[in-house]
Amino acid sequence: MNSASKWIAGARPRTLPAAISPVLVGTALAYRIGHNVSYLNAFLALVVSLALQIAVNYANDYSDGVKGTDQQRVGPIRLVGSGLASASAVKNAAFISFGVSAIAGSILSTRTSYLLILVGIISIIAAWTYTGSSKPYGYRGFGEISVFLFFGIVATVGTFYVSTESFSWKALLFSIPVGSLSCAILAINNLRDLPKDEIVGKRTLAVRMGDKRARFFFNSLLGAAHLSSLLGALVTPWAVASLALLPITLQISRAINKGARGVELIPLLGKTGRLQLLLSTTLAIALVI
């Protein structure tokens, strides 16, 4: 594997729909409501979201690698754990990504509200302490809550705000399907890693729940995404078009219910990411029509 390929793989591209989706939906909602949408602000919000997601992935790789909890795992490449990159190099990659996010966020704050700086600081702290502190909350089962909050509510409502400089309950409503599927990406990732995490003492939500309940929880997130998408009909009747994606959802759910585990969950992780992007695109088109 060449240098560029390993860093791209280390950024975990399958997780990037979690960063793109809230910006897509938030901007589309701003357009529908009829505000004079600032597409420059929307673009800056996308840079913030993508850079933060990549930073989280590198930070997790670094922290898990130096803690020794990333040895012999299935799933995406671990740069530190596999020895493909030094811990310091991966840490630097995380800090550079955090820096890009901070710079774009600072520009955004000067164009909208300086309160966004506080939101950005909290987001970066949450991203780093997920696995990077002495008592990482990701090791205690709180990762899904953080993901729903930051890559669901904050990202969607925040994008709507920087595009319109206003708030709306509609943005909160559409943040639910986005956040639910962001959580689903993490949930299936933790389900895949459950046996190894249990051995090394990582008490993720999947470990705390156990295999059976973790699978039920994942399916519940898929269901919540579809139900909340249908509630989007309160804003646009075209939101019912999200039902067209049910076959993909059911395909993923059936594989989970049949007991897919380990490497069998890797393609399902990718499908969950694609489902989030497809659902968000569908909702965005529904809002723009």
238 and 289 in contact (C-beta within 8 Å)? yes
CATH number of the domain residue 170 falls in: 1.10.600
Mean pLDDT calculated for residue range 164-169: 90
Would you report the helix, strand and coil content of the chain in percent, each value rounded to 5?
80, 0, 20
Q: How many whole angstroms separate alpha carbon 224 and alpha carbon 218?
A: 10
Closest CA to 229 of 156, 286, 144: 286
128 contacts: CB under 8 Å, gap ≥ 6: 59, 94, 98
Domains: count for the chain: 1
Q: Residue 272: which domain range?
A: 14-288
Within-domain flag for 209: yes
Within-domain flag for 3: no
What pLDDT does residue 75 have?
A: 62
pLDDT tier for residue 72 given thresholds of 50, 70 and 90 = low
Within-domain flag for 5: no
Within-domain flag for 240: yes
* Integer angstrom CA distances of residue 106 from 23, 47, 114, 121, 184: 17, 12, 8, 10, 30
Query: What digits encode the pLDDT tens for the residues 3-61?
Result: 778 899 889 888 899 999 999 999 999 999 876 788 899 999 999 999 999 999 999 99
Residue 64 has pLDDT above 90, yes or no: no
Query: What digits encode the pLDDT tens for the residues 221-264?
Result: 999 999 999 999 999 999 999 999 999 999 999 999 999 998 89
Within-domain flag for 201: yes
Within-domain flag for 114: yes
| pTM, two decimal places | 0.91
254 and 267 in contact (C-beta within 8 Å)? no
Within-domain flag for 4: no
Query: What digits encode the pLDDT tens for the residues 85-137?
Result: 899 999 999 999 999 999 999 999 999 999 999 999 999 999 999 988 778 89
Closest CA to 30 of 16, 41, 44: 41
Within-domain flag for 220: yes
DSSP assigned state of 75: S
